[in-house]
Every structure is written in structure tokens, then in C-alpha cells.
Structure 1
Amino acid sequence: MTETAPSRPREPEPESLFTRVVKAYTYVAIWIALSGVVIMFNKYLLAYRGFPYPISLTMWHMFFCASLAILLVRTGVVSSISMDRETYIKAIVPIGACYSITLWVGNAAYLYLSVSFIQMLKALMPVAVFTVGCGFGTDKYSWPTMMNMILVTIGVAVASYGELNFNIVGVAFQLASIFSESVRLVLVQILLQSRGLKLNPVTTLYYVAPCCFCFLLIPFTLLEATKLSSDPNLDINPFLFITNAMAAFGLNMAVFLLIGKTSALTMNIAGVVKDWMLIGLSVWMFKAAVTGLNLFGYFIAFLAVCWYNYRKLQSMKEAASLAPVKDQQMAETVPLKGGDKP
């Protein structure tokens, strides 16, 4: 009798194009929805609910996210990775410091500026990332990209000139947030990717959120602790703050889910749609004044950002198409070893 070979498990069939597109749009929709909820929620708490303490609100978000991430990791629901002290200090601490500044000053801007104008200023993010990337050597300088960035800056400048409620303090806070976030993104690329660290959404918060909380303790002690403890009109609604923190945790999950399942470029393109949506919501919910010059300037920046994303997409496609050719050329130039045969 001949023995029959054990049957191999059937490999899962590759997903259809339709399924991949539906999933990608689902991730985008979740991220846009949660991002809009967190931004409008933060604006409401800081500017309308009588809680003008952006550092305290950011600390609460980090405390909640860290606690939930630690619970999920320690109970074994989510597997973590081993990280030595040197890696934590050299990689996680700088990223945590930048992230804490980004969140703090970004939330502080809501005390002085409308949500719509803040979204217009956020169009400067590609400019900041490109500038910082060139400084750190992760991005290559090119005149076409530079001209693209100049056009974005001109558009934002026109939008700022047309802003009725322009506030230099709020603008300074938002620009500081943009710069800090661009440094953080570059550091993630340099420090984490170069070390081969692969962190999922929960383990990222597990390591980064406690670090952010500790950094925020310094400005909290110096700027808000005394005011917060002596504020006679302080009204903390537990339901509102817990819901707000849950939305912030969900947004962190959605960001990593979107980038992990699609790409950072998809997130950038979806961010353009999100910005227009938030501008409309700001006008509708908070009666934010938006002028024609505001929209004209932002439209210039919007077109420039769209062109930048298009050029980036084309360069990625070109690099992907050239990769097999380069691999073939390398294979043809590698000398054969002793017992190898052609």
C-alpha cells in the first residue's frame, strides 16, 4: 500500500481589489470621524466648557491611554516587545518629548483660534516635514518640491491675512505644534525604523504615553497646577472627560491602523478631506467667521498640497517599478561562489 502524503493546509485566497478598496475607505472614514470628534470635543472643553487648561487635558489623555495600554499588555490581551533601557532612552524618550509638546501647544491653540483657521494652518505640515527632513538628511532637497512648499506657504499666508480673529499667540502655539510634530515624525523614521522596532498601536502607547505624561508634569507644575487648584468655577464632568479620553484613545488606534493597513500617503490625502470637513463643522457648530480671502488662500494651499501628494505618489510608483530591475541587475553582477553553478 502506498502512503498518501498529508494534505497541505489551503492558503487563504488573496483579497479582491473591491475588498481592499472597501477596507481602505473604511479605515479612512474611521480616522476622519474620530479625528473630527476629538478636535471638536477638545475645542468645546477648552473654549466653551470652562476648562481652559490644555496641559491638564493633554495629561489626562496620556494618563488614560497609558493606563489602558498597560492593562491590555499586562493582561496578555496584546503582546508587547522587549526593549532595553538604552533603546528606550535613545528612541522613545525624544519621540515622547516631541509628542508631548505637539499635543500641549496644539491644544493650547484652541483657546485663541477657531478650528477652521487651525485646519488652514495645518496645511503647513508638509512644509515643516520637508524642511526638518532635509535638515536631518531623511529627505532630499529639490527645487520642484521647494517651489511646491513655497506655494503652500503663500496660500496659508493669504488665509492668515484674511482671518478676522487672528491672534499671534494662538498662531505661535499652532506653528510650534506643527514644527514639533514634524520633528517627531522624522525621529520616528530615524530612531525606530533604523533599529527595526515594530510597534503596534497599543504597544506604542504603552511606551510613549507614560513618557509624554512625565514630560507634561513639568509645564503643568509651573503653569497650571496653582490655577487649577484655586479655580472657583472649575466644573469637571466625569462623563465628558472619560468620553473625551476614550475618543483620544480611539484616535490613536485609528492613526496606526490607517497607516499600517494603507500608507502614510493615504493618511495625508485623507487629511485634506478631513480639513475641509472640519472647516465646515467649525462654521456650523461654533459660528466661526470664515472670509472669502480665508478660503481663497486655503484653496491655494490645498491645491499645492494635492500636487505634492500626487508627485509623491508618482515617485513611489516609479520606485516600485524600478525595484525589480535593480534586483535583476544586482543578481547579474554578483560573482558566483565556489560551488555555485549558473
Structure 2
Amino acid sequence: FPAVTPRLQRDRSLFWSLICAVCDRPVSPTRKDFFQQSSRMPPTPATKLFHISAGLPHRSGGGERERGGGAMVEAGHGHTQTWTTRRGSNPRLEPDPVIEIPPTPPGEARGNGGAGKYAAAASFLSLFCPTSSAAAAASFSPTVTTALTIAAWYLSNIGVLLLNKYLLSIYGYRYPIFLTMLHMVSCSLYSLAAVHWLGLVPLQHISSRRQLLKIAALSVIFCFSVVCGNTSLRYIPVSFNQAVGATTPFFTAVFAFLLTCRREHPLVYLALLPVVLGIVLASNSEPLFHLFGFLVCVGSTAGRALKSVVQGILLTSEAERLNSMNLLMYMAPIAAAILLPVSLYVEGNVAAATLDKARADPNMVLLLLGNATVAYLVNLTNFLVTKHTSALTLQVLGNAKAAVAAVVSVLIFRNPVTVMGITGFAITIMGVVLYSEAKKRSKS
């Protein structure tokens, strides 16, 4: 390029970076190879006319210009062609210094394929819309992505609890088994779409009949846990449900000892005492205590702990181990097939009752579809939070989620609480935190 103004040179540099990034072409620091290749092409009449009208030198063949000598050396031809520039035609070209174009980094330095394209595009678009460029850069930030994933996990977990409570206890849809079956159907369809069509995770196949039987056994425990949890919401408040659910580590330690004979450090068992003490205090002071609701909630908590222990026992080999999304894709259809006949036997002609309610209230269909979709989002965001953080972070977030869900449910449903109940819940959460810390130290 001839001498240009700093602003024009900056625009050309940014445009060059954009073109190279989109084309994914590494460029040498001086870019002479590009100019030499382009200089070998004969100039067109339009190019000559443009050079003459702009006061720029023009040539009849390719070559490289020498800045100080007023001559152009033809590369590969061995002779010199003189030329004269009409400097008076464009005085802005002479006094401004030449600004070196910064080299474009190679493909490896620009990131994994696409990062350099986004950076170059953002820098070029910042000339016209700096705000949108900053927003685009922020949208690719890992911190922002993790924060949004955690927020979605909180919203989906608390949302499905509140929707289940509303449907089963307030709205009058008293079919928890059929509602759980709808959740399983939703998880089957959405998981199939996420794994097969969207490619969210690599597809893992079931390698043997034995592995299928293990997944079926996990599906039975999964059904029992979810049905008990949804049934408990008919009889007890969400806040008390979460207080009982916080005792999962206690049942996990019990089942791990019974099934695998694994002994934990004494400090781990000592940390479980506040967990049990807190739930005893919360149960004794719960104004809306219901014995059957309490028992099925304990069954749901125990089933959740049993599933985690049995899953660690059955799916231990690398060939049989599945990630959570593939495991859900295989477990959910089996669970739905188990729950459908159980629902028809226990709850009667639930399909006809559901259709009657849908005819009376068209919002019924939207409530069920939304509830089933949020139930899948719980599993999806659980997987994404673990992917972006760690299993330990998920456990800590789960402890905080129980407290947040309890507070939100009290604010929405206005169920009465007592000081002793709040104290017992706080002691339980503190015991869970102590248990997690003691277990981490015992492993280290």
C-alpha cells in the first residue's frame, strides 16, 4: 500500500484481519507473499484508471515497489521501469507516515478454529457498533455461561417443585403417579432429541443384555423415588419436603455400608448427627405435619440415595459406564413403561379424568406440558452444571437450593412456619455441609 492516513490504515488492517479470520488463512507477518502473488497478475484497465484518477502509480506488470527510489523492480524479469507520481493531485498521501500492518497470528494462536473469527469480526464491527461488539464478547465468556447455567438449574429445580405442589395440592390434579409418568415420557423425547439430533453429548450404546438389566433395575428405583417425592407434595409443604430431602447423605452412608461394607472415617459419621437432629426438630414443630406425607418423603430420599449407591455398583466398568444424559435416555422409557400400568391400577381411569379436566379448563394442557418440560430441564441443567463446574460444586449448590426453595415456597404458598422448624432446617443444612467437608478431608 502507498502511504495512507492512520485512520484509513487502521480500517484496512481491521478489514484484512476479518477476511483472513473468516477464510481461516494464516498470513506471514509481512504479508509480502500475498502482495507478491497478487502483483504477478496483470492490471486491468479499470485498475489503471483508478490509479491515475487517485494519483497513485500504476504499472503494466507485476512487481514490488521500492519506496525511496521512484522505480518499480519487476520480480522475475530483471529490468526496471520508471514512473512518476503526481503528488499535487492528492497532497494527503505525502506527509502522513506509513503505519505497519500488525501481523495476523496463525490459526493455532487464534484459538480452536472459530475463536479468531469471532475476535476479528467483533473488532471490525466495533467500528460501527461498539455496544453490540461488547455484548457479543460477553456472551462467549465462560464465567457468564457458567452463571447462566447455574441460574437455569436453580429456576428449573425450584420451578418443578412449585408446579408439582400447585398441581397436586392446590389445582386438584391428584394423580402423582400419572404425573410422574408424563415426566418420564417428556424426558424420553427430549433426551432422544438432545442426544440423537442435537448431538449435545456423544451417543453411547448399550453393549450387552446384562447392562440393559442393570439400567432396568436403576429405572425401578428411580420410579420409586420420583413417585414418592411427588406424592409427598400432596400432603406436606415444599419447605418441609426440602428439609427431609436434605438428609440424603445420611441414607447414602447407610446404604453404602449395607451394600458395599464400606466404612467411612469416624468424623464423617459424626457429621451426620446434626443432619438427623435437625430433621427431628423440624418434624416435631411442623404445623402442617402429615404422617403419610412424611413417610413417602423419607422413602423418596432413601430411594434417591439407594439409586446413587446402586449406580456406582452396577455401572463401574468403563464399557458399561454412561454419562447422565445417555443414562436418562435409556432409563426414562423403561420408567414410563413401568409407571403406566401402575397408574391405571392405583389411580383408576386417570386418562379420562385428565381429558375431562382439560375440557373444563384449557390451561390444564399447558400446565401439564410446562411441568413435563421443566422436569426434563432439571436433568439437563444438572448435567450442564456438572460439566461447567464439578460434582462438589453441584453438591454445595444443592444444599443452598434446598434453603432457597423452602423460602420461595413459604413466600408463594404462605404455609406457616415456626422458629423451631427453621432452626431444625438450618441445623440439617449445617450438618450436610459438615458431612461434605469431612468426607473430602477423609479422601485427601
Change (3 A) 1:192 1:22: farther
Shift of 1:308: 1.4
Cα distance, 1:198 vs structure 2: 4.8
Q: Which runs of 5+ in 2 are unaligned?
A: 1-105, 113-140
Q: Give the match for residue 297 of structure 2.
A: 174
Deviation of 1:24 (Å): 4.4
Look up the match of 1:304: 431
Match of 2:175 in 1: 53
Q: Structure 1 residues 228 and 41 mapped into 2: Cα distance closer, same or farther (>3 Å)?
A: same
Change (3 A) 1:305 1:97: same
Equivalent in the alignment of 1:212? 335
1:20: Cα distance to partner? 6.1
CA spacing shift, 1:114–1:220, aligned 2, 3 Å: same
CA shift, 1:195, in A, is 4.1
Residues 50, 234 of structure 1: 8 Å contact kept:
no
1:140 is displaced (CA, Å) by 2.5
Aligned to 2:344: 221
Residue equivalent to 2:206: 83
Residue matched to 2:306: 183
Larger CA deviation: 136-145 vs 210-219:
136-145
- Mapped to 2, the partners of 1:263 and 1:201 lie a distance apart of 14
Structure 2 vs 1, CA of residues 85 and 220 (structure 1 numbering), >3 Å: closer, same or farther? farther
Shift of 1:26: 3.8
The amino acid across from 1:34 in the alignment is S
Q: Is residue 375 of structure 2 the alignment partner of residue 248 of structure 1?
A: yes
Aligned mate of 1:39, from 153, 161, 165: 161
Cα distance in 1 for residues equivalent to 2:355 and 2:375: 27
| Structure 1 unaligned spans of 5+ | 1-6, 14-18, 319-342
Distance 1:37 1:293 in 2: 27
Could you tell me whether the CA contact under 8 Å between 1:27 and 1:257 is conserved in 2?
yes
- CA deviations over 1:286-335 (Å, ceiling 9, x no partner): 1111101101111211211111122234445x3xxxxxxxxxxxxxxxxx
Equivalent of residue 410 in structure 2, options 283, 289, 298: 283
Offset of residue 242 of structure 1: 1.1
- The whole-number CA distance in structure 2 between the counterparts of 1:311 and 1:58 is 35
In the alignment, the residues of structure 2 paired with residue 80 and residue 87 of structure 1 have an alpha-carbon distance, to the nearest angstrom, of 19
What is the aligned partner in structure 1 of residue 271 from structure 2?
148
Answer yes or no: is the 8 Å Cα contact 2:191–2:325 preserved in 1. Answer: yes
Is contact 2:235-2:293 (8 Å) kept?
yes
Shift of 1:73: 4.3
Residue 95 (structure 1) shift: 1.1
Instruction: Count residues with an aligned counterpart.
Output: 307
| Letter of the structure 2 residue corresponding to residue 154 of structure 1 | L
Letter paired with 2:327: T
**Residues 20 and 70 of structure 1: is their aligned pair in 2 closer, same or farther, counting only changes over 3 Å?**
closer
Q: What secondary structure sits across from 1:27 in the alignment?
A: helix
Contact 1:159 1:297 in 2 (8 A): yes
Q: Percent identity?
A: 25
Q: CA deviation at 1:278?
A: 1.2
- Residue number among 239, 242, 257 corresponding to 2:384 in the alignment: 257
SS at match of 2:286: coil
Compute the RMSD of aligned alpha carbons. Answer: 2.6
Q: Does 2:245 match 1:122?
A: yes
More helix by percentage: 1
2:185 counterpart (40, 49, 63) = 63
Contact persistence 1:100–1:212 (CA under 8 A): yes
The structure whose RCO (Cα within 8 Å, separation 6+) is larger is 1
Residue 376 of structure 2 aligns to which amino acid in structure 1? F
Deviations 1:233-280 (A, max 9, x none): 734622111111111111110112222332222122111211111111
Q: Which has the larger radius of gyration?
A: 2
